Amino acid sequence: MDDGKVRPYFTTRSLIPENQETPIHFLRGSIFDKEYWFLRNHFQYPELNVASENLLVTGAVSNPFIIKLEEIKALPHKKITLPLICSGNQRAKFRPKVFGEQWEEGAVSQGVWTGVPLKELLNYAKPDENTVEVVFTGKDRGVKPNKDEVVSFERSLPLKKALHPDTLVAFEYNGQSIPYKHGYPLRLIVPDWYGMASVKWLKTITVVTRPFEGPFQTDDYVYYPRPDTDEGKTPVTTVRVNSIIQQPLDHSIIDEGTHVIVGLAWSGEGQIAEVEISFDQGNTWEPVTLEEKSASYAWTEWSYVWKTPGKGSYTIQTRARDSQGNIQPQSEFWNRKGYGYNAIFNIEVKVE
Ligand SMILES: Nc1nc2c(c(=O)[nH]1)N[C@H]1C(S)=C(S)[C@@H](COP(=O)(O)O)O[C@H]1N2
Ligand SMILES: [Mo]
């Protein structure tokens, strides 16, 4: 397509299933169009058919039901702007290196979701008193590496998170039907949790009375702090506090003078309270200017005006702190599957 517009391109991590990273360094703003939105898939895309617009709510409930897309759209709904952050984002930076998609910074996006609070659907289904979790099954399925049975992409939420008023069964992204590759027609949206919780192509919601086990719940999306044992494992849930520098680019050569350094910061644990920048290997830190957020779950854009102190090489580092007092650590919390990277952000530039 040559319409004269300059577009950023994805970085392909794999094509089948499709895993593509967005060039976050070239994107500014609080809402991303779908063509700039990373893709993270475990399987090939599901086939949709006439039954695809039905959602089944079942399990340990006294009133199981099937509801159609059109009926969901007619229920009271809300719009929420929030980022979607893949827990594998920045996996490429773990040392020692870990296996898995080698994401750099681009497995993140942000947009406006419209949906019905899951809570309303659950209230209608009337979960049994001994309910502990709610399971979400997507329509995509396949064989996982090293396994021989066919499985669905399936994940659960503890009842408390499932009943959170902003956990949505979403039907629109940026005011339009959810794009096919991102979960059309219905997708779960779980604010403040890493992306794996937001199940695409939602087919079934099942209320359960004991903790759900499945390959995407109890094998993957678990922090394993040790290289060869499962000792100390904990589930991947809330997004950790983080900041990135979008401009300048790592290892770029810039002119002497004044430069505006820009970036993003976010945390699933609270609001971003402060982002600091250092030019001396972290000996001294200065606050950057935070822009006003576009919405309460949204990421924080920030900027800092830098007068280069002379020719030479510089390390520029940033670290964010949230309202709960969480701060980016000096070095990453290493874990075998490479989730939740949030060490102090680090680039080098050369001033000529
Ligand atoms: N059904 C289904 N839902 C899914 C996935 C998937 O493979 N299948 N991937 C999850 C992961 S790990 C992430 S990070 C996000 C990615 O959403 P996106 O592809 O719309 O960017 O979807 C989540 N939901
Ligand atoms: Mo992810």
| pLDDT tens per residue, range 113-162 | 999 999 999 999 999 999 999 999 999 999 987 788 999 999 999 999 99
Rounded to an integer, what distance in angstroms lies between the CA atom of residue 263 and that of residue 8?
17
The pLDDT value recorded for residue 316 is: 98
- Pocket-testing residue among 198, 201, 204, 216, ligand 1, by greatest number of atoms within 8 A of Cβ: 198
| Extents of the domains making up the chain | 11-235, 242-351
Using CA atoms, how far residue 282 sits from 276, 294, 334, in Å, is: 10, 30, 21
pLDDT in tens, 68-90: 999 999 999 999 999 999 999 99
Say how many Å lie between the CA of residue 195 and the centre of ligand 2.
5
Question: Is the CB of residue 117 below 6 angstroms from any atom belonging to ligand 1?
Answer: no
Question: Is the CB of residue 196 below 6 angstroms from any atom belonging to ligand 1?
Answer: yes
Find the DSSP H helices in the chain: 69-73, 118-125, 159-162
CA angle 109, 245, 90 (to 5 degrees): 60
Percent of the chain with pLDDT over 70: 99
Q: Are 12 and 20 in contact (CB under 8 A)?
A: yes
Say how many Å lie between the CA of residue 101 and the centre of ligand 2.
10
The pLDDT value recorded for residue 1 is: 55
* CATH of range 11-235; options 3.90.420.10, 3.40.605.10, 3.30.390.30, 3.40.50.300: 3.90.420.10
Among all chains, which residue has been given the structure tokens 């520098």? Answer: 245
Say how many Å lie between the CA of residue 40 and the centre of ligand 2.
6
**Closest-CA residue to 331 (of 272, 265, 298, 282):** 282
Low-confidence ranges of the chain (pLDDT < 50): none
Question: Is the CB of residue 272 below 6 angstroms from any atom belonging to ligand 1?
Answer: no
Nearest CA to ligand 1 atom 20: 182
Mapped to the 3 state alphabet, what secondary structure does 5-18 carry? CCCCCCEEEECCCC
Nearest CA to ligand 1 atom 6: 41
Say how many Å lie between the CA of residue 118 and the centre of ligand 2.
21
Q: Are 312 and 73 in contact (CB under 8 A)?
A: no
Say how many Å lie between the CA of residue 62 and the centre of ligand 1.
30
**Closest-CA residue to 304 (of 315, 316, 296, 292):** 316
Nearest CA to ligand 1 atom 21: 39
Question: Is the CB of residue 197 below 6 angstroms from any atom belonging to ligand 1?
Answer: no
Question: Is the CB of residue 182 below 6 angstroms from any atom belonging to ligand 1?
Answer: yes
Question: Does domain 242-351 match CATH 1.10.1040.10?
Answer: no
Question: Is the CB of residue 339 below 6 angstroms from any atom belonging to ligand 1?
Answer: no
